[in-house]
A and B are shown apart, each in its own frame.
Chain A
Amino acid sequence: MEFVAPVLNYSLLSPILILLGGALIGVLVEAFVSKALRPITQLSVTLGSLVLSLVQVWRIRHESSMSAAMGSVVIDGPAVLLQASILIISIISVFLIADTEHFTALAASLPGSDEERHALQTGNQVTEVYPLTLFAVAGMLLFPISSDLITLFVALEMLSLPLYLMAGLSRRRRLASQESALKYFLLGAFSSAFFLFGAAFLYGYSSSVTFAGIHNAVIGAAGNDVFLLIGIAFLSVGLLFKVGAVPFHAWSPDVYQGAPTPVTAFMAAATKVAAFGAMLRIFYTAFASAQWSWSPVLSLIAIITMLLGSLVAITQRDVKRMLAYSSIAHAGFLLTGVIALNKAGLDASIFYLFAYGVATVGGFAVVTLVRDSAGEVTDLNRWKGLGKRSPWVASSFAFFLLAFAGIPLTSGFIGKFSIFSAAYESGAKAVVIAGVLSSAIAAFFYIRVIVMMFFTDPVEDGTGVEIPSVLTQLTLIISLAITVGLGVYPAPILNFITNLATFIR
């Protein structure tokens, strides 16, 4: 048997390769750089790789190629847009991660052990979170550009494994944090198994693992339809788990709550972009012609996800859990973009993902600031009167909430409008009506938080607002600027997306 050397187009793959290189350097830094210099070195390496990668994505924005890695990945407009979104979101999340106060000094030590205490006292803070972040981002960049099931699975694991670890790194409430990491890991492993099972059936159906091959098999109608249906169903379970859609959402409130808040911000925003990016690609390219076998079920899931997410969010008393349910509702809104299955739906989804991701990081950035002597305060009852204590922080949180609620003049409104109109255009009227209704329900709990912050008097229980560090300020300012900018004058970004976003098969 003759061995064919793979032909790789390094410039098209460079965004991912840069990140992997940065991550490896990060591992070395962790081992060899003195503990005083470690945090700053890690931060610079991480930010440097992310920015460099973003520059590289910008440079290849007009490329489109199926053969960057022997047909395993595809570079096209949506790929570039999604990668850029992920990188921008990661950069502003890394600013939050830089606040080491949130992370355990020594993740390997048992909670409450002498070892842990010693690490804290000597200031021997390990900073493995940086290389983990870079590995995860690299996986996220690969996820939406994969064009065969094997690469898709590799990317899925590549982004998930670091996230499982990162969820367990919290300094406070370490047991809850580790529990959430374990939960995330176990459920994630289940969903991966489902994913693989589905992939096997799809291979059985089409005797191909590439999206193009599956697409051709669907058009040719040559294979066994039962295999196709089982394949789509199980593959979707894996993907829906990652985006946190009902009924595969159970992990997200616990993980959102248990993970260190900067990690939650990163995970909530960037994972969603990556997972929806992959979902859009596979449903728009591989399964598009089999629309009638998945669209009704997916519509139903979207409706349930939106309604359940909004309804359950009302009962939450913890800000991180509330944001988790809100993100479940938003997963439902985003699914309408997948169901739309038209160009407008693709444009709208990409815009929505970016706008939502940025606002999410901004929202969690505020959560990191509200603290008492024992760390972050996430109990909503203790957020009372925040508007009086620190009007600017409270106002920005209120603004992000209004963006989540989709009030005009925020990016959330443009996103909601565009994604619902795309879905309506494709005839999914029931989904749009459910979406509008659940937006009304969702508005209720967002507004309730605003009421707590502004219209109730503060309780003196030591809850205060940390003066934001320069980096956290940067996160807040950038995400506010993007949320306002995309709400007031979204035309340039929308045009940019419309011009670029076309999947190639």
Chain B
Amino acid sequence: MNSLTLLMLLPIVGTVVIAALPKANETLTKQVALATTLVVAAATIWLAVGFQRDNVDLQFVQKFSWIPSFGINFALGIDGLALVLILMSTVLAPIVVLAGWNESLGGRWSVKTFYILILVLETMMIGVFAATDVFLFYVIFEAMLIPVYFLIGGYGSGERSAAAVKFLIYSLFGGLLMLASIIALYVMSGDQGGHTFDLAALSHLQMSSTTQNFLFLGFFIAFAIKAPLWPLHTWLPDAAQSATPGTSVLLLGVLDKVGTFGMIRYCLTLFPDASKTFTPLILILSVISIVYGAFLAIGQRDLKRLIAFTSISHFGFITMGIFAMTSQGQSGATLYMFNHGFSTAALFLVGGWMISRRGSSTIADFGGLQRVTPVMAWTFFLAGMSSLALPGMSSFVSEFLVLVGTFTRYPVHAVIATFGIVLAALYILIPVQKALHGPTTPGNENLSDLNLREKIAIAPVIAIIIALGFYPSPLLKVINPASAHVIAQMGFTDPAPTNGDK
């Protein structure tokens, strides 16, 4: 059997095992979930080792006929871009399980249900990046909403059901617009040589530019809601605030990446001309997202909402990198997706521990944690530094690449976006100062520091952030060929670098 299919099946096996376990034995359930996600992560790393880096074609390709009357296949295959994102997802999964060991306790339903939802979600996360059949992609894209909806609504806190519904309605609305576009693609493929959903075949469709623009919008709006781009972002802060930290990591770290991934894989590939038409608009929206997200992050009093708004700013950078149409921009955006996954994970997980210890998520309630809980404070500090893209942290590399890639073609946008970095320093350093430094706020004296499990969970995240900050080339070697391929397919060549001597 194909290794990608196998990878998708592994979490399902874990689900079946968990379903068979006795309800009372919660520890065993957690252990099985952790073991499953670890096996999946190991399998993905093994898959990555076997990946041919310089080959720009899809690899590990597989195709089963699924619904032949509509020409639908269960078709999988990955390029460098998909591999990096699958790697990120499957490495984050065990970290989330271990870090959020007790997250499932405050829920409406049992511990078992929580881990079944997580594992089903993991299968879909792999599938959504690996799908090469547009219909299959859509099915997973929509079906993924259901486990996340129940994770937020069932195990979150505060206004969890309202947040879950808002999330679901936004996403469904975007998805249905995409469905209309997909139907149009399907019908056109029927007129031009047989019904198909094969991505490669669909990218050769002939269509008028008006049609292309409309279909592009159908896809793009769905992805812009997912990724979230200003002004379609309003569901994210609510969802992130209500979800458990682990769910937030999966939501912001992985699910939202489906949006940016979709922009590259579907918008650019299927509608190259429309992408060029809309580039100016999208770049403006990205710049607004960067600055707006940053400003709102500065104003937040709630730690989780703050992290959500920083992400909106970061997604602005990613979208800008994608639509800058240079290979540096593309590579930077892809690397940014990977790094953002880990730096957000670090922020949410450590933030989550702080919140659960203090029993409050208001930043002002913290203070002086540096003295009381030094390890937790330092990890939060490091996570924050990674979020503001300090040199030496992995996100610096990607942010730099995005800015360089954008500057060669759109200098004004790049310059404005650079202010986002300055603002980032503010939105990170202010909460760091308030929460970690200064006198210990009354009520915080007896907070406990990270325990061994938490240290083990956060260590790999910090390690990856720092290691890739100094030596990003293993990932870039996988990403660069794929990015160059996308840009070449679009018919772009990189502009010559701006030379100071001119």
**A-B CB contact pairs (8 Å), 5 listed:** A440-B172, A455-B161, A455-B164, A489-B66, A491-B69
Q: Which A residues contact B (CB, under 8 angstroms)?
A: 347, 387-388, 391, 402, 405, 407-409, 413-414, 417-418, 420-421, 424-425, 432-433, 436-437, 439-440, 443-444, 447-448, 451, 454-456, 489-491, 494-495, 498
Shortest C-beta distance, A425 to chain B (Å), equals: 5
Contact yes or no, B179 A495, CB < 8 A: no
Q: How far is the CA of A417 from the CA of B67 in the complex (A)?
A: 12
> Within residues 137 to 178 of chain B, which ones have a CB less than 8 A from any CB in chain A?
138-140, 142-143, 145-146, 150, 153-154, 160-161, 164-165, 168-169, 172-173, 176-177
Q: How far is the CA of A386 from the CA of B440 in the complex (A)?
A: 46
| Chain A residues whose CB sits within 8 angstroms of the CB of B142 once the complex forms | 407-408, 413
Q: How far is the CA of A494 from the CA of B139 in the complex (A)?
A: 18
Contact yes or no, B143 A424, CB < 8 A: no
Shortest C-beta distance, A422 to chain B (Å), equals: 9
Dominant SS at the A interface? helix
Q: Which of the 9-residue segments B25-33, B183-191, B329-337, B350-358 touches chain A?
A: B183-191
Contact yes or no, A495 B68, CB < 8 A: yes
Shortest C-beta distance, A452 to chain B (Å), equals: 9
Q: Is B364 an interface residue (CB 8 A)?
A: no
Q: Is B70 an interface residue (CB 8 A)?
A: yes
Contact yes or no, B190 A425, CB < 8 A: yes
* A-B contact number at CB 8 A: 87
Contact yes or no, B184 A424, CB < 8 A: yes
Q: How far is the CA of A432 from the CA of B177 in the complex (A)?
A: 11
Shortest C-beta distance, B149 to chain A (Å), equals: 8
Q: How far is the CA of A490 from the CA of B69 in the complex (A)?
A: 9
| Chain B residues whose CB sits within 8 angstroms of the CB of A495 once the complex forms | 68-69
Contact yes or no, B176 A436, CB < 8 A: yes
Q: How far is the CA of A414 from the CA of B142 in the complex (A)?
A: 13
Contact yes or no, B153 A443, CB < 8 A: no
Contact yes or no, B165 A448, CB < 8 A: yes
Q: Is B371 an interface residue (CB 8 A)?
A: no
Task: Given A432-B180, A455-B154, answer yes or no on A491-B68 (Cβ-Cβ < 8 Å).
Answer: yes
Q: How far is the CA of A498 from the CA of B179 in the complex (A)?
A: 23
Q: Is B108 an interface residue (CB 8 A)?
A: yes
> Within residues 173 to 220 of chain B, which ones have a CB less than 8 A from any CB in chain A?
173, 176-177, 179-180, 183-184, 186-187, 190
Dominant SS at the B interface? helix
Q: How far is the CA of A163 from the CA of B150 in the complex (A)?
A: 40
> Within residues 78 to 109 of chain B, which ones have a CB less than 8 A from any CB in chain A?
108-109
Contact yes or no, B179 A436, CB < 8 A: yes
Task: Given A439-B176, A447-B165, A451-B165, answer yes or no on A409-B67 (Cβ-Cβ < 8 Å).
Answer: no
Contact yes or no, A436 B139, CB < 8 A: no
Q: How far is the CA of A455 from the CA of B173 in the complex (A)?
A: 21
Contact yes or no, A494 B161, CB < 8 A: no
Contact yes or no, B153 A451, CB < 8 A: yes
The answer, among B139, B145, B187, for a CB contact under 8 Å with A421, is: B187
Shortest C-beta distance, B125 to chain A (Å), equals: 15
- Encoded as 1 (CB less than 8 Å from any A CB) or 0, chain B from 262 to 280 comes to 0000000000000000000
| Chain A residues whose CB sits within 8 angstroms of the CB of B179 once the complex forms | 417, 420, 436
| Chain B residues whose CB sits within 8 angstroms of the CB of A451 once the complex forms | 153, 161, 164-165
| Chain B residues whose CB sits within 8 angstroms of the CB of A424 once the complex forms | 183-184, 187
Q: How far is the CA of A498 from the CA of B67 in the complex (A)?
A: 12
Shortest C-beta distance, B148 to chain A (Å), equals: 13
Q: How far is the CA of A408 from the CA of B179 in the complex (A)?
A: 11
| Chain B residues whose CB sits within 8 angstroms of the CB of A414 once the complex forms | 67
In the complex, residue of chain B having the shortest beta-carbon distance to the beta carbon of A495: B69
15 new A-B contacts at CB < 8 Å, known A347-B69, A443-B168, A454-B150: A387-B108, A405-B172, A418-B70, A420-B180, A420-B183, A421-B183, A432-B180, A432-B183, A436-B176, A440-B169, A440-B173, A440-B176, A490-B67, A491-B68, A495-B69
Task: Given A407-B143, A408-B138, A443-B172, answer yes or no on A436-B180 (Cβ-Cβ < 8 Å).
Answer: yes
In the complex, residue of chain A having the shortest beta-carbon distance to the beta carbon of B161: A455
Contact yes or no, A436 B69, CB < 8 A: no
Q: How far is the CA of A36 from the CA of B281 in the complex (A)?
A: 76
Q: How far is the CA of A421 from the CA of B187 in the complex (A)?
A: 7
The answer, among B67, B69, B153, B184, for a CB contact under 8 Å with A454, is: B153
| Chain A residues whose CB sits within 8 angstroms of the CB of B186 once the complex forms | 421
Q: How far is the CA of A387 from the CA of B113 in the complex (A)?
A: 13
Contact yes or no, B146 A494, CB < 8 A: no
Contact yes or no, A447 B168, CB < 8 A: yes
Shortest C-beta distance, B209 to chain A (Å), equals: 17
Q: In this complex, which of B153, B169, B172, B179 has the most chain A Cβ atoms within 10 angstroms of its Cβ?
A: B179
Shortest C-beta distance, A493 to chain B (Å), equals: 10
In the complex, residue of chain A having the shortest beta-carbon distance to the beta carbon of B177: A436
Contact yes or no, A408 B172, CB < 8 A: no
| Chain B residues whose CB sits within 8 angstroms of the CB of A489 once the complex forms | 66-67
Contact yes or no, A408 B139, CB < 8 A: yes
In the complex, residue of chain A having the shortest beta-carbon distance to the beta carbon of B144: A408
Q: How far is the CA of A408 from the CA of B138 in the complex (A)?
A: 8
Q: How far is the CA of A414 from the CA of B72 in the complex (A)?
A: 11
Q: How far is the CA of A444 from the CA of B180 in the complex (A)?
A: 18
Q: How far is the CA of A436 from the CA of B142 in the complex (A)?
A: 14
Task: Given A407-B142, A407-B146, answer yes or no on A417-B164 (Cβ-Cβ < 8 Å).
Answer: no
Q: How far is the CA of A420 from the CA of B182 in the complex (A)?
A: 11
Q: How far is the CA of A294 from the CA of B293 in the complex (A)?
A: 52
| Chain A residues whose CB sits within 8 angstroms of the CB of B177 once the complex forms | 436
Q: How far is the CA of A407 from the CA of B168 in the complex (A)?
A: 11
Contact yes or no, B160 A455, CB < 8 A: yes
| Chain B residues whose CB sits within 8 angstroms of the CB of A447 once the complex forms | 165, 168-169
